[in-house]
Structure 1
């Protein structure tokens, strides 16, 4: 895991920890009753707890990049502290990462990609990463950036290719509208017109 992919790594790691019932080794309970029960379980079989903690610690070490590993490696460590050090590394780089991602988002153009879908996927990935560093991109801004990047390409493409771009934009709008409304429908603005996507 590189620092640019911290949220993806942390999300997948938490899923793994839940599957094996060891999430408390990296994120202890905050509820008083749950914390008391966790401490009692830990005290009842400390050798087992230490072995499980070592397994989780090994997972952390095995799934981060070498640079991150050398930054967080401490003798006689526990999983929770290693987990927190990885998170702190990400927090320390948050502002510079946001500036870098913002530059990438505003300068990404369709000409750099082999297909409209690859271009859209790159923009979507950048918006997700920006949200993860506390700089969310609105749906409107995503669509405007998509259109701005497509503008120069639209003039050079044949009508069937323009239709494909329109269809992609329609799908993007539909997905954003569905996410905003919590509905599985399509974007009514595009659906109301004769759709070239079925041609």
Structure 2
């Protein structure tokens, strides 16, 4: 029985196995690892199809009988099948090509497989589920990664791009529009003008152009953010002037309202017209124009006086400021100088102080 290449499929390289092995080995440049099975498969499959050898890995080119019977009757005998020898040569060529494209770690786990179809099947069973789980994990990271305040625009772009590159290595590459959609979704409200401008475009934008615009937007935000913060702080200080009674935030705390001899107290009020410096606590200028703004050792007069009062009052740090509570029915004080008007108390109510003593309607009853 005569055999030709047309009789048995996949025999283009049968006349020169060494040349075919060399060409196949150079065509598959990706080294197979546990992380890139789909990428490796995407490169190996077309190479095998181009040489009409893919049937050896998917099982469509089956192995013929290893022996055939020649002669008849008493002269019949078993001889090696030339078709099997040809199939075996091609199968080992494909197997050698696949093995030579693996990393050492993967190669150590594939040594027990003797045919190309067995090796191909084992790789699918071992790596397909692992890579699918990894694909889902990377998609989750793409969807949930946000640009935080402590992350630069460049670091955010590179992280999202690395996720996209991982998807490509897994055999599921994303196009630029898909990657851009993930990146825009992760930007904060401060980048809303950039997001609106890009989504309003009729023509697609490349990732390189988007990266340039993202950096430009970040530079503008960094340039204006410090000025805005300082001006906002200065406006707050203008609306709520500093008082010598120790208050920076409102009219009800401090000695301004407590001494009460017919006026607002010892504090000086400017009606919120002039700004108050947040560095030195003085009127007439803001923090940007303060001479003490770079003096880290400077301590405002109010802070020094508070430190001295704390030292004089002992370990309990008693606050002697008069606090006005407009929701109280009555007020108590041991210092009559704190009251504008007072009279002797004639009611039946009593007050018990911390040392256990009490006072009520007696000759020495306190005034109110």
Q: How much does 1:107 deviate?
A: 2.6
Match of 1:84 in 2: 121
Q: TM-score, normalised by structure 2?
A: 0.33
Match of 1:171 in 2: 205
Which gives a bigger RCO, structure 1 or 2 (Cα 8 Å, sep 6+)?
Answer: 1
Whether the aligned pair in 1 keeps the contact of 2:131 and 2:170 (CA below 8 Å) is no
Q: How much does 1:123 deviate?
A: 4.9
How many Å separate the matches in 2 of 1:8 and 1:131? Answer: 4
Stretches of structure 2 that go unaligned for 5 or more consecutive residues are: 1-31, 67-80, 207-368
Q: Rg bigger for which structure?
A: 2
How many Å separate the matches in 2 of 1:73 and 1:125? Answer: 31
Could you tell me which of 73, 86, 96 is aligned with 1:58?
96
Q: TM-score, normalised by structure 1?
A: 0.55
Match of 2:184 in 1: 147
How many Å separate the matches in 1 of 2:65 and 2:53? Answer: 12
Match of 1:70 in 2: 108
Q: How much does 1:100 deviate?
A: 3.2
Secondary structure of 2:36's counterpart equals: helix
Q: Deviations over 1:13-45 (max 9, x none)?
A: 11110121111110123xxxxx6xx66699652
Stretches of structure 1 that go unaligned for 5 or more consecutive residues are: 30-34, 173-199
Larger relative helix fraction? 1
Q: How much does 1:127 deviate?
A: 5.2
Size of the aligned set, in residue pairs, is 152
Q: Are residue 28 (structure 1) and residue 54 (structure 2) matched?
A: no
Residues 110-189 of structure 1: matches in 2 within 5 Å? 111=152, 113=154, 121-126=161-166, 144-151=181-188, 154=191, 166=198, 170-171=204-205
Q: Deviations over 1:139-198 (max 9, x none)?
A: 99855422133447848xxx9xx59x937x9337xxxxxxxxxxxxxxxxxxxxxxxxxx
Could you tell me which of 42, 45, 50 is aligned with 1:11?
42
